[in-house]
Structure 1
C-alpha cells in the first residue's frame, strides 16, 4: 500500500522531470523574450488598464463607455496576437499545457484500468467486477 505522501513525492519527482523537458525550456525562453520586449510590456500594461476601466464601467452601468473600452481591448489584443513573439509564447504555453494534460490523462486512465483489472472487470466496457456481478441477467434465461 502507498500513502498519500508517497504519491505526492512521486508527483514532485514527475513535476521536476517535466520541468526539464524541451517544451518547458521553450516556454521559459519565450516568456523571457516577452518580458524583455518593451512593446509587449507597454501593450500588456495598456491592456490591464483598459480591463480595469471595463470592470469599472460595467459596475456603474456605463454601457456606451464599456462598449468603447471593449473595442480598444479587442484592438490591443489583436495587435499583441499579430506579434511573432506573442504567438511563440502562446504556442509554448499550449505545448506545456498539452504535456500536463497528457500526464493527467495517463494517470487517470491507469488508475481506472487498475481498478477495473483488480476487481475482475472488463476494460473494454469500462465496468468493474462489482458492476458485472451486480448486472441484471440479460441472457434470457429464467432461474
Structure 2
C-alpha cells in the first residue's frame, strides 16, 4: 500500500512537471486557440456536410454530384490544413509528442535497469 502511494505521488509530480514544461504549455495554449477558432469550426462543419452529401450522391448513383462533393471536400480540407492555427497546432503537437516519448523511454529504461538489477541480485543469492 505504501509503495502504491509512492508511485501515485511520483506520477502526480511527473504530471505537474510536464504540465509546467514550456512545450506542453504552448501546445495547450494553441490547442485552446484552435478549439475556439470560429473559422476552423466552420470549415469542419462544411467538410462534414460535404462528406454527407458525397455519401448520399454515391448512394443514389449521382456520380457527377458525388465528384463535385469530393472536390469540395478536398478544397475545404486544404484550406483547413493550410490555416496558420492548424499548422502551429501540428508543430506544437509534434514537439509535445517528442517530449512525452523521451520521458516514456527514459522511464522505461530506468524500470528495465531496476528489473535487471533485481533479477541479478536474486540469482546471486
TM superposition score normalised by structure 2:
0.72
**Larger of the two Rg values belongs to structure:** 1
Query: What residue in structure 1 maps to residue 73 of structure 2?
Result: 73
Alignment CA distance shift 1:106-1:73 (3 Å)? farther
Structure 1 unaligned spans of 5+:
122-128, 131-143
Higher relative contact order (CA 8 A, sep 6+): 2
- 1:2, distance to aligned residue in structure 2 (A): 5.9
SS, match of residue 90 in structure 1: helix
**Which residue does the alignment assign to 1:87?**
87
Distance across 1 between alignment mates of 2:114 and 2:106: 12
Which structure is higher in helix share? 2
Could you list the per-position Cα deviations for residues 58-79 of structure 1 after superposition, in whole angstroms to 9, with x for gaps in the alignment?
Answer: 9xx8385777655543332221
Where in structure 2 are there 5+ consecutive unaligned residues? Answer: none
Aligned CA-pair RMSD: 3.3
Deviation at 1:6, TM superposition (A): 2.3
How far, CA to CA, are the matches of 2:2 and 2:67 in structure 1? Answer: 55
Mark the CA change 1:109 to 1:36 in structure 2 (over 3 Å): closer, same or farther.
Answer: same
